[in-house]
Structure 1
Amino acid sequence: MIRSIATCAALGLAVAGQAPAAFAAPFKLEGEPKVAMILFGPKNDGGWSQAMDEARQRTEKALGISIPVAENIQETATSIRPAAELFIKRGYNIIIGTAYAFSDTFKELSEKYPKVAFVNGSGTTTGPNLESFYGRTYETHYLCGMAAGAASKSGRIGFVAANPFGIVNWTINAYELGARQMNPAAVTTAVYTGAWKDPVKERAAAAALIGQGMDVIGQHVDTPTPQIVAQEKGILATGHHRDMREFAPAATQCSSVWYWDRYFVPTIRKIQAGTWEPRPYGAFLSIKEGGPDIVCCGPAVPKEAADRIMSERQALIDGKQIFAGPLKDRDGIERVVDGAIFGDAELWKMDWFVQGVVTQR
């Protein structure tokens, strides 16, 4: 669903240029932690919600607790509020949300229930007992772009994208930068569906790209449809949210995946210990910090290329920056000067494309 993500989030405060001060003191939980999760979609959607639910299950095992879940909760206050308050009335004091459009309602709930801790995936709001979180997916898609560049025979790569928001645009840009690490002539053509989850539009977009001669398809949408179409057409692909080999084992060469338990487990432990201080801009997690990572590589990626991808992954963990200068956009305008790094506020607002990216707008 990354609709959340979608928006300029994390969070949006950074985009707006505001600079909230750190909260006065760490949040103090009353009693032992009782955690519950509210999912935007079904637990088995194959994408965003399923990745959240799988992280919930891993968190249960890591902490030895039970985390009940409410699924298919629409992104409206009239749906979110009753689901959250039912958990709270039953004694749950840590509520995990999973959608951008939960943001305002979670903010209201956090103010109404100051003794309850709230965290929200891809949200935009924060508070003394509320933290939004998301991941630096441009890192993982840079690595999957390298896999795409190594696997492509033509250098013509397609990308099925949801909406032309900053978090999608940074994915496309990083993907192309990764592809060019392997093939300096690689071109990534992106098509926006205008929806986070629309298998019909995703199928049409993937088929159109393949019809134009693309031999690898990447994606930033919620369903595995582009992977499935790629396999049906006998070409290759890279996935988003989860390991897409589940749906297209022959096509999938790399997937950008979520490991949210790497965020949930230490956060819940901090809440329990009374040391949790929600970050004023929310948690924006790199591979090193937990959240996004990759599953790589498929058989179409040569071993030498796979080794190089994993070396780059380690470089990112060690501090390498993808959007570092000098960097020009496709119109030749310098976006990042030599020696500089593209800042987080600019990342959320990214509305330009690097050289080698083709879009319909």
Structure 2
Amino acid sequence: MTRHILRLLAFGLALVGLSALPAMAAFKLKGEPKIALVIFTQKNDGGWSQALDEARQRLEASMGVKIPVVENVPENATAIRPAVELLISRGFNIIIGSAFGYSDTFKELSEKYPDVAFLNPAGITNGPNLQSFYGRTYESQYLCGMAAGAASKSGKLGFVAANPFGLVNWTVNAYALGAQQVNPNATVTVIYTGAWNDPVKERAAAEALIEQGIDVIGQHVDTPATQIVAQEKGVYATGHHRDLREFAPKATQCSSVWVWDRFLEPEIKKIIAGDWTPPAYGAFLSIKEGGTDIACCGDAVPKDAADKITAEREAIVNGKQVYAGPLADRDGKERVPAGQVLSDADLWKMDWFVKGVISQK
């Protein structure tokens, strides 16, 4: 886990300073474009992988193409390499991956097959024909935090999270900041499960939060267990990855959802047109650029609050920064001075919490 965290941090820090690098020549695709998606789990997992597959389906509809998907290709080279090479042997020349664990193998394959374009969400490797990308999930979680704050009667919110490092902590903090836009006294108690996908631990964490009197629970984990528990116990929740009303229609008030097709369609069109130049350090996508968005709002969110969420989303699209100063942590230490914005490097190494966040293991 430590190595995984350090590499994710290295990826985030590498995103800083893109403008200092010389421009590369545009990639030129050879032959007719043929696109394929390779997923590390089953495509209907209810979370991350299903969000990718749903983006694939939307791409098929909007671009008028067929994009086959290969499922259950685990995050190791001995599985990834033959699956991708079989696709390439069949003429596929735009390969979309699905995981951090594909990073090194995609890098090796991109060098072996320079005429094939590779795209990898959550990856950390890049090259002349390889682009990794991730989303600024704190933007959509901030908006879901607003929904949570509006739905809560007690002002006591909870959050089930995977691991306590930057890309998770920024969602927890943003959730709290969003809730406090609606209720300045709102608190967020976060429990870390230590795993991305463990419905047993997620259920236990959600139940523990509800036992503390929390009436709305957010999440940054892969399964809908948190939403299901919330509905069973008669409280509200907000989801991650996809619109989780599918699993808990009464409980789910907002979801942070991946909208990869909004980013991938213009990228694929650039590849096909011959004017695709992957950024040297990948892409860190805002709502406007096609990272995440929200599915909102449920019946427990009053109309005036829903309207405010819509206005805040528009403000973010137009450049509003969630982590703008002045901003202090929960211990009173200034983290962002007035007139400044938290840097991407500081986002990726975020190890602190804003006022109102109560962290538990």
TM-score (norm 1): 0.96
1:335 counterpart residue number: 335
Does structure 1 residue 227 correspond to structure 2 residue 227?
A: yes
Q: Quote the residue 1:305 is aligned against.
A: 305
**2:160 maps to which residue?**
160
Identify the residue that residue 255 of structure 1 maps to in structure 2: 255
Please list the CA deviations of residues 55-88 of structure 1 after superposition, one character each: whole Å capped at 9, or x if unmatched. Answer: 0011011111111111111111111111111111
Specify the alignment match of 1:91 in structure 2: 91
Task: Provide the rounded CA distance (Å) in 1 between the counterparts of 2:303 and 2:59.
Answer: 33
Which residue of the partner structure matches residue 9 of structure 2?
8
Q: Tell me, in whole angstroms, the C-alpha distance in 2 between the residues paired with 1:11 and 1:336.
A: 19
Using the alignment, how far apart are the partners of 1:290 and 1:318 within structure 2?
14
Distance 1:20 1:78 in 2: 36
Query: Any idea what the Cα deviations from partners look like across 1:164-198, whole Å, max 9, x if unmatched?
Result: 12110000000000000000000000000000000
Report which stretch shifted further, 17-26 or 290-299.
Answer: 17-26
Distance 1:227 1:175 in 2: 16
- CA drift of 1:41 comes to 1.3
Equivalent-residue separation in structure 2 for 1:158 and 1:5 (angstroms): 27
Runs of 4+ with >4 A deviation: 3-6, 17-20
The 5-angstrom pairing of residues 54-133 of structure 1 reads 54-133=54-133
1:149 corresponds to: 149
Name the CA distance, whole Å, in 2 between partners of 1:87 and 1:202.
36
Provide closer, same or farther for how the CA distance between residues 315 and 19 of structure 1 changes in structure 2, counting only shifts above 3 A.
closer
Q: Which amino acid aligns with 2:142?
A: Y
SS at match of 1:36: strand
Whether the 8 Å contact between 2:239 and 2:255 is mirrored in structure 1 is: yes
Tell me if the contact between 1:325 and 1:340 (Cα under 8 Å) persists in the aligned partners.
yes
Name the SS for the 2:9 alignment partner. coil
CA distance in 2, matches of 1:210, 1:22: 53
CA distance in 1, matches of 2:177, 2:212: 21
Q: State how far apart, in whole Å, the 2-side matches of 1:4 and 1:240 are.
A: 20
Q: Taking structure 1 as reference, are residues 22 and 116 closer, same or farther at Cα in structure 2, changes over 3 Å only? A: farther
Pairs aligned (count)? 358
Q: 1:5 Cα shift?
A: 12
Cα distance, 1:47–1:4 mapped onto 2, change above 3 Å: farther
1:266-345 matches, cutoff 5 A: 266-345=266-345
Q: Report if aligned partners of 2:137, 2:291 keep a CA contact under 8 Å in 1.
A: no
The one-letter amino acid paired with 1:14 is L
**Alignment partner, residue 212 of structure 1:** 212
User: How far apart are the structure 2 equivalents of 1:10 and 1:140?
Assistant: 21
SS for the counterpart of 1:8 is helix
Contact 1:100–1:124 under 8 Å retained in 2: yes
The letter of the residue matching 1:46 is G
How far is 1:307 from its partner? 0.3
Q: Against the structure 1 CA distance between its residues 4 and 23, is the aligned structure 2 distance closer, same or farther, given a 3 Å change threshold?
A: farther
Q: CA RMSD in A?
A: 1.7
1:11 CA displacement? 3.6
d(CA) in 2 for partners of 1:184, 1:5: 34
CA distance in 2, matches of 1:70, 1:8: 29
SS at 1:111 equivalent: helix
Q: Is the 8 A contact 1:5 1:122 kept in 2?
A: no
Q: Distance in 2 between matches of 1:265 and 1:307?
A: 29
Give the counterpart letter for 1:333 in structure 2: K
Q: Write the deviation string for residues 317-355 of structure 1: whole angstroms up to 9, x where unpaired.
A: 110001011100011110111111011111111111111
TM-score, normalised relative to structure 2: 0.96
Work out whether 1:29 is the aligned partner of 2:29.
yes
- Cα deviation, 1:6-25, whole Å, max 9, x if unaligned, reads 9336445237x898724520
Give me the whole-angstrom Cα distance separating, in 1, the residues matched to 2:255 and 2:18. 34
Counterpart of 1:191? 191
Query: Counterpart of 2:276 in structure 1: which amino acid?
Result: W
Moved more, 197-206 or 61-70: 61-70
Preserved contact between residue 6 and residue 166 of structure 1 (Cα < 8 Å) = no
Secondary structure of 2:188's counterpart equals strand
SS at match of 2:15: helix
5+ residue gaps, structure 1, are none
Q: 1:85 to 1:23 in 2, by over 3 A?
A: farther
CA distance 1:79–1:19, change in 2 (3 Å)? farther
Tell me which residue corresponds to 1:349. Answer: 349
Residues 260-301 of structure 1, C-alpha deviation per residue, up to 9 Å, x if partnerless? 111111111000001101012211111111121001110100
Distance 2:86 2:13 in 1: 29
Moved more, 282-291 or 154-163: 282-291
Deviation at 1:255, TM superposition (A): 0.5
Name the % identity.
68
Q: What one-letter code is carried by the residue in structure 1 that aligns with 2:261?
A: D
Determine the C-alpha separation between the residues in 1 that align with 2:230 and 2:10: 31
